Amino acid sequence: MKDMSVFALFSTLGALLAIALGVMFPALAMGRAISRALDALARQPEAEKSILRALFIGLAMVESLAIYVLVIVLIVLFRNPLLAYLLK
């Protein structure tokens, strides 16, 4: 039983830490991207369409990093493949 509580403690801690870091850095990157896009928009308002399109694609790219972290965290929390070894 001790193994089980250690396992639960560490997987929860790991998941929380992973999602915290994994959201923090993409957020910084998205902030940079948006601020640059607004700069470009202020300089060249007539290029709005292409700037916004590039911004959306870039944001989706950055956002998918956070989504990867989320998927891995969910796997660790709900479908941990290592749990099978512990229960054996």
Partner 1 sequence: MEPSLVIFRIGALLVTSTVVMTWGIMAVIVLVCWLGTRHLKQSPDRWQSALEGVVLTMQQAIEDIAPGKSPSLLPFVGSLWIYLVFANLAGLVPGLHSPTGQLSVTSGLAILVFLATHWFGIRASGWLPYLKHYVQPNPILLPFNVISEISRTLALAVRLFGNIMSLEMAALLVLLVAGLLVPVPLLMLHVVEALVQAYIFGVLALVYIAGGLEAHADGGSPS
Positions that interact with partner 1 (CB under 8 A): 49-50, 53, 56-57, 60-61, 63-64, 67-68, 70-71, 74, 78-79
Least distance in Å: CB of 1 to partner 1? Answer: 27
**Minimum CB distance to partner 1 smaller for 79 or for 88:** 79
**Minimum CB distance to partner 1 smaller for 14 or for 58:** 58
Tell me 46's DSSP state.
Answer: G
Phi, psi of 79 (to 5 degrees): -130, 50
* Residue 20 burial (C-beta neighbours within 10 Å; 0-12, 13-18, 19+): exposed
